């Protein structure tokens, strides 16, 4: 873990909150680690994992060059970690695919039930899948995830185009991509969405995400059914600071509630190189 603390996601463990994140080694390959925190005033980091909770995949697998966090779901007596696997490309710099790892030791370590990705390339997802956010409702597993819609040549090299799509599963392991696009670009200056985070308040679904033109900013959308979404980015809740670690970029939001307070974990400049920020919802 030489650089970065990216893509935070939270699991409540007793009285503390465990934050899973992705740190990179000297070759830029991400692995999943965690720290535990007390959200008091001020918040305190209580401990940091001494080894990866999820390491690189097998040579030649979809995740042999990096694994980055997305979300953790408690299921029966275990934990499901939904993540993004990275492999290196030639004509494009990388390939991404959504993956699953499970834990039966309380989340200290995770293992892969399959070396294959959750969502294969299909007509609905012809390029890549990434950043799955999963919620279980009345036995139905629902996933909102990033899907590549195309690559284009630009002066600085290949540029990716991502939107947010939807999939379903009866068990969290076998997924069916519906091909439904939940969020796409609002104008020609946008070309990518990053890790969605979905929270349900009563009958209202809320989604926070990052969206970019030149740099990522936080966005926000609402839905009555989790399928049809209306973007309301002006309500995302946080803007870049005038200076400091999050003055240029905001990305990878994770919104959660604890003891009656709503929190936002996020990354700042350079995709998490400058660390993880914590924001509290204003009264």
The residue ranges of every structural domain in the chain are: 3-280
Residue 168 host element (H or E): strand 157-169
CA distance 206 to 193: 16
Q: What is the pLDDT of residue 283?
A: 82
222 is written with which tokens? 């609402």
Q: Residue 76: what pLDDT?
A: 86
Q: In whole angstroms, what is the distance from residue 167 CA to residue 133 CA? A: 10
Q: What 3-state class would DSSP assign to 211? A: strand
- β-partners of residue 262 are 257
Looking at 3.30.470.30, 2.115.10.20, 3.30.540.10, 3.30.930.10, the CATH number of the domain 3-280 comes to: 2.115.10.20
Q: Which two tokens stand for residue 175?
A: 């997924």
Which parts of the chain have pLDDT scores under 50? Answer: none
- pTM > 0.95: yes or no: yes
Sequence-distant (6+) residues with CB within 8 A of 139 are 170
pLDDT for the residue numbered 282: 87
């Amino acid at each position: 873990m030489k650089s970065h603390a990216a893509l935070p996601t939270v699991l409540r463990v007793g009285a503390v909150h465990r934050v899973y994140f992705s740190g990179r080694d000297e070759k830029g390959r991400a692995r999943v680690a965690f720290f535990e925190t007390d959200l008091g005033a001020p918040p305190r980091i209580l401990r940091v994992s001494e080894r990866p909770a999820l390491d690189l995949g097998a040579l030649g697998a979809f995740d042999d060059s990096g694994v980055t966090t997305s979300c953790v779901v408690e299921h029966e007596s275990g934990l499901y970690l939904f993540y993004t696997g990275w492999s290196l490309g030639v004509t494009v710099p990388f390939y991404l695919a959504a993956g699953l790892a499970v834990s039966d030791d309380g989340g200290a370590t995770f293992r892969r039930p399959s070396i294959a990705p959750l969502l294969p390339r299909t007509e609905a997802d012809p390029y890549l899948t990434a950043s799955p956010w999963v919620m279980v409702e009345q036995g139905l597993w629902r996933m909102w995830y990033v899907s590549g819609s195309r690559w284009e040549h630009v002066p600085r090299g290949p540029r990716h185009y991502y939107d947010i799509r939807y999939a379903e599963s009866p068990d969290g392991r076998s997924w069916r991509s519906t091909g439904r696009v939940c969020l796409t670009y609002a104008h020609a200056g946008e070309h990518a969405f990053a890790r969605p985070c979905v929270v349900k308040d009563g009958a209202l679904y809320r989604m926070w995400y990052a969206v970019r033109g030149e740099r990522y900013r936080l966005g926000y959308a609402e839905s009555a059914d989790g399928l049809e979404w209306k973007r309301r980015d002006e309500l995302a809740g946080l803007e870049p600071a005038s200076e400091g670690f999050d003055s240029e970029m905001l990305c990878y939001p994770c919104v959660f509630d604890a003891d009656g307070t709503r929190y936002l974990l996020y990354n700042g400049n350079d995709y998490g190189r400058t660390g993880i920020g914590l924001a509290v919802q204003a009264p």
